[in-house]
């Protein structure tokens, strides 16, 4: 497969980027889930 190396490189750089910003991402995800729960309560 010719495009495998490019995909692997993209995945590698993405994983490095996420390792750097994992804490911020998990905080954002937690806040997002809280907002979703609030929206569900408001809808129902």
Digit-coded pLDDT (tens) for 16-35 = 877 777 777 788 888 888 87
Judge contact between 28 and 22, C-beta under 8 A: no
Cα–Cα distance between 11 and 9 in angstroms, integer? 5
Digit-coded pLDDT (tens) for 4-16 = 788 888 788 878 8
Residue 31 corresponds to which tokens in the numbers above? 């806040």
Look at residues 21, 44, 4 and name the one whose alpha carbon lies nearest to residue 29. Answer: 21
Residue 43 DSSP code? H
């Amino acid at each position: 497969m010719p495009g495998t190396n490019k995909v692997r490189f993209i995945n590698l750089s993405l994983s490095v980027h996420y390792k750097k910003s994992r804490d911020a991402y998990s905080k954002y995800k937690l806040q997002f889930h809280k907002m979703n729960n609030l929206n569900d309560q408001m809808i129902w």
